[in-house]
Structure 1
Amino acid sequence: MNWKKKLNSVFSGWKLLLFVLISLLSLCLVALQGYLLSKQSTQTIETQVNQMISDNMDSLSVNITNDLSYMDDFARTLSNNADLINTFKLDPAERKVMTEEWMKAFSEYYRLRLPLNIQVLLNPDELYAYPSLNVWEEHEIRTIVSSFPWFDQRVSLDNDYLHWNVTADFHTNSSSGASSNALYVSKNIIRDNRSLGLLVIEMNGSLIERLLNRAQIHAQNAVFIVSGEGQLLFRNENMLKPLQEDAELFSTATQILKRGDDHGTQNISWAGSPYYLIYKQISSTPWTMFSLIPMYSFHSDSMNIWHTTAITTAISVVLIAAFFCVLYLKVTLPIAQLSRIVRKAGQGQTPETYAYKGFKEIETLNRGIFRFFEQIQEQFQTIKRGENEKRKLELHRLQEQMRPHFWHNSLNSLRFLAVLNGDNQMAEAILSLTRMLDYTLRNTDVLYSTLEEEKDYAMSFVRFQEIRSMQQIRVNLELDERAMQAQIPKFTLQLILENSIMHGFAAPFDKEPWIRVVAETEDELLILRITDNGNGMDQATLQRLFQPERKQHRARRSSGLSLINLQQRFRLEYGSGFGIRVASEHGQFTEVTMTLPLMTTDNEQERGPI
C-alpha cells in the first residue's frame, strides 16, 4: 500500500506543476491581452476621431450646400419678380421708397432663414437696399461690386447665370482685425432682353465661420475653406494665420487642389509640428474644406489608455495569482473528486460520498449530486413534453386568432345589404373576405392545406386588396401539377403576398403592379417562388430582415413580422435545412423563395397529429 501512496504523490506533484505552468501561461496571456487591447484601443480612437471629423465635414458640407442653394433660389426668384421690376418704372422720388419697401415685404413673405443683405444697383447713382445703408456703406458696396472681374461684361454674359464672389464685407472695417469676408451672389435683372439693373445679395462670412467652429473636435482643430484658385475664403477662430502667409501649408493645399481629389487625408508638418490634414470638396461648388488636427491630440488619449491598461494589467496579475492558489486548493481538487464520482455514476455505479469542507456552494453540490442523478431522467421527460406543447402552441397560434364564427354571419349580412343597394364592388369585396374567413374557420385543427387550396385563398386575398386599394394587380401563376397537391402550412402564400402588396406596392411605387407565383418540385422538395416588381429593399435592410431584435422594433406592424414568424414556423416543423431566402434590389423587385419537403396527403397522415 505504501508504494501506491508514493505513486499517487508523484502524480499529484506533476498535476500541481502542470497547474502552476497553466497559471503562469494564463498570467502571460492576461498581460498580452492588456497590450493588445491597449494597442487596439489606440487604433480605435484614431479611427473614431477620423470618422468623427469626416462626419462633421460631411454634415458641414451639406449645410453649406443647402445655404448656397437657398440663396440661389432666393436670388433667381427675386430677380425675376414682376412687382419688383415694375417699381423701377416709378418716378425717382418714390422709386427708392417703393423698391426698398417691396424688398422688405418680399423678404418677409419668403421667410428668410439666413441673415442676408439685399441691394439693387440700377445705375451708378441709384442703389436701393434692405436693410437700409448709410452713405459710407453705399460707397463701399459700389466699390466692391465694381471690382468683380465680370462686372464690366455683365450685360453680354448669360443673364441666367449667378455670380458667386467672396471678398471683404462692405459693413466691416478691415482694420478692426475681425473676420471681414462675405459671400456675394449677383444676378442681372432682365426684362424684354434689356438689363434693368443688378441684384446683389450679401451674406456675412461669420455665419459660415460659426458652422466651421461646429466641425471642430477640440480647440486646436483648425477648419478653413479654400477656393479653387487657392484663395482662403473662410476660417474658424483657431486658424491663426491666413493661408497665404504660410508657404508650406499653402504649397500642400495647392497640390491637393491641382490633383482634383474630392476628399482624402494627408500627414503634413506645419509650423514645425506634425499635423493630420483631412480635406473634402463641398458639393456643387469649387470650394474645398480643410481640417487641420495636431497629432499630439491623438497621442494624448492613446497614452492615457496605455497607462491605464498597464496599471490594470499589473493589478489583475496579482489578483489572478492569488485567485489561482485558492482555486486549486478549494475548487480544482474538490471538483476533480466530484468529477470522478460523476464518471463512476455514468458507468452505472452508485455514487460514493465525499467529505469536503470549504466553499458552501461546493458542499451543497457534494450533498445534492447523488439526488440529482435520480431526477435527471424525470426532468428530461418533463422538458421534452414542454417543448412539444410549446411547438404545438406555436403552430396553432395564427388559427386561434380568427376562431369567432359570428364574423362569417356578419359579413354575409353586409354583402346582402350591398347587393340590395346595387354596390356590386362592395359585394364582391365582402365575398372575397367571406371566402377567406371560410377557409380560416374550416377545419381549424388542420395545420396543413394543399397548395391548390392555399392558391384559392391567396387569390381571394389579392382580389380583396385590389378593391381596397383601387388598383389592379396582375398575378401570374406557374404551378406544377404535382406541386398543386403538396401539403404546406396554412396561410403561407397569403403572408408573402400581403408583404408584397402592403410594402412592395406602397408609395412611392408608381408602376403597374404584378406578382409572379411559381411552384415546382425537385426530387422530394417543393420550391415556391413569389416575385413582385415593387419597391424592393436595399442590402442593409435585407441583411437585417431575419434578425430577432426586429420583433421588438416592429411589434406594432404584424405584416412586418410575417417573414420572421414564417421562418420560425418552418424551422420548428421541418428543421434548419428548410426555410426562406429573400433576394431584392431597391426600386426593382423582391423575390421570396421557400424550400419545403414535398408532402402529400398520404405521407402527411403518416406524420400523425402535432
Structure 2
Amino acid sequence: MWRCFPPSRLQCGGRCIFRDKGRIPWKEGVTITLRKKLILAFTVLIVLLGSWIGYFSYQDAKNIVYANKKSEMADTINRIDIDINTWVLQIVRLAENTSQNQAVLELLEDGGVTALQRNYIDEWFHNFAQVFVAVSDIHIIDSDGGIRYSYVPFEGYVDEGRLDACTQAAAARPDRETWLGIGRPLCRESGEDVVTMVRAFNPGQAERSDGILVIELNPDVFSSLLLSNHSMFPNQYTLIVDRNGDIISTNKKVEHTWLNEIENMFGKGIRKFELHWEGKDYYVCGQYNGVTGWKTFSIVSLNDFFPQASELRRAVFTMVAAAVLLAAVVILLISYTFTRPIGRLMTAMKEIEKGDFKIQVVNKSRDEIGRLTQSFNFMVSKIDQLVKEVYQEKIAQKNAELEALQAQINPHFLYNTLDSINWMLMDIGADDISDVVVSLGDILKYSIHGKDVLVLLDEEIQYIESYLCIQKNRLEERLKTSIDIQDKARACMVPKLILQPMVENAILHGVEPMKEGGEVCITARLEQDDLFVTIEDNGPGMDQEELKRCRAAVYCETGTTDSIGMRNVHRRLRLHFGERYGMTIESGPRGGTAVVLRMPGNRRWREQEQDLNGHSDCG
C-alpha cells in the first residue's frame, strides 16, 4: 500500500527519501553470494560424481583384471594336468612294453643275464631315458624281492623300507601302475629324493606277480618338464602334491604348514579360494589328477594379480582431478554469466534505496533474467513517475490548505454577522426568520469547524435537519420530511457532508416540479455489518433512458454538471471504504426516486478515522 509523506520528506527532482522504518532490515553477518553458492554446489557435485565414476571405473577394471588372471591360472593348471597325463602315459607305455619284453622276462625266469642280454636291456632303457630325461633310475625286482637289474650300476645297498613299500604297492594294485610319490632312492644310500612308480609284471595271470618294475624320476627335472613351458606370474607358486601330501615338484619352496591349510580347503571340495596367510591375501587354484592321484596347486598373491593397480589409481585420480578443475573453470564462467545481470540489478536496487529513481539497468539478454531486468526498469520508471505525481499533489494540497485558511475569514465574518442579525430578529419577535438564520448559522458552523474526514451519522443528520429547516421556510407546505434513523446506526462513522447533495437533489428534482409538493424520506438501518442510508422522494421519477443516463453520469469518471455532486459522493465512498461500497439509484415513471448509500457499519472505522485525522496532512 502506497503512503504519502509530508513535503519535508521529499526532495526536488522527483527523488524520495524513505523513512527508516520502511527500509528492509537486512540481517547482519557473513553472507554467501549466489555466485559462490552456485560455484560451491556445482563443484561439490562434480567432485562427488567424478570420485564416484573414478572409483567404480577403477573397481571395474580391477575386477576384470582379476577375473582374467584367475581364468589364466585355471588354464595353466589345466595345461599342467595335461602334461602330467602326457608324461605319465609315456612311462606307462614303457612299463607295458617292458613287461612284454622277452629279455626282461628271461631275466626274471633264469635269475641272471648274459652280457648280451645285459647290453640289450641297457640299450632298451637307455633309449627310453633319452626320451624321458626325468628318469633317474630303473629297477627290476623278482618275486622274492631281489634286485635283478638296475639302470644305474648297483652298489649293493637296498633301502628295505622303500623296497617293502614298492612290493606292497604292486601287490595292492597288480593290474596297473602305482605312484608312491617322493621318497628315498631304492638302491642309493646317498642322493636326492626321487619320485617312484611301481608296476607288477604279468598282472592277473598268476597268484603273485613274476616281478616288479620300479622307475625313479628326478623331481627337479620332472618339475622342469611339467612347469617350465607354462607362463607364470612373477611370484606364483606352482606345486604338485602326491597322495601322501608330499610335494613332488614345485617352482618355489613352500612351508609345510601353509600346504596343510591349502589341502584342508581342497579336501572340502573347494577348488578355487582365497587364503589369508601371514598378513597377505592369496588366490589358490587346484586340480586333482585321476591317473596319478596327484594334486596340482597354483598360488598367487592378490597384490601380484594387478601390479599396475597403483599406476591405474594415479591415472584415474589425475583424470578426475583434471576433469574437476576443468569443470570448476566452466562453472566459474557459467556462474559469472548467470549472476552478472543479477549483480547489476542488486547494485541498481541499492541506488534506489538511496533515493535515485532515474537509474536504468542495461539489458541485452532475452532470457528470464532479461525479462526480470526489463520489468525492473519499467517498475523504476513507474515509481519515479508516481513519486513526481505525489510530490505535485502534496504541493497542490498545501496550496489548497492555504487558500482554505484564507477563505475561512469570510465564513467566520458571515457567521458572526448572522449571529448579530438573529439577536436583532429576536428583539422584534420575528421567530420564523430567526429559525432560518439559526439554521443557516449551524450549516456554516458545521462546514467550517473541524478537520475530521469521518463524522458520526448523528452529526450528519443534525446538519441535514438544519438544511431542511431552511428549505421548509422556502417551500412552506409543499415540502414534507421524514427522518427515521436506528439508534445503533447513529454511532456509525460516515464521510462528512455525504448526505446534503442527495437531499438537495431530491428537493430540486423530486419536490419542486410538483405543484402540490412532495415528501423527502431519510432512513438509516444496519444490516449485518453494513450501514444503508436511503434518501427517497415521491416525485415524478425517471424513465429507463433518464435513469440510464443518470447512472452513467454518477458511475463514470466524466458526466454532466448536474450530477457532479452525486458522482463525488459515490467516488468518496469507494475511495474511503472499497469497491464493494458506494451509491445505487432506483427510479421509475411516477414512482419517485430512491438513492441508497452503502457504507461499513462496524466500529472499526472509528480507529481508521483517528488514523486519518492523525495523518490528515497526507491528504
TM range (shorter): 0.3 to 0.5
- Whichever of the two has the greater Rg, that structure is 2
Q: TM-score, normalised by structure 2?
A: 0.40
Higher relative contact order (CA 8 A, sep 6+): 2
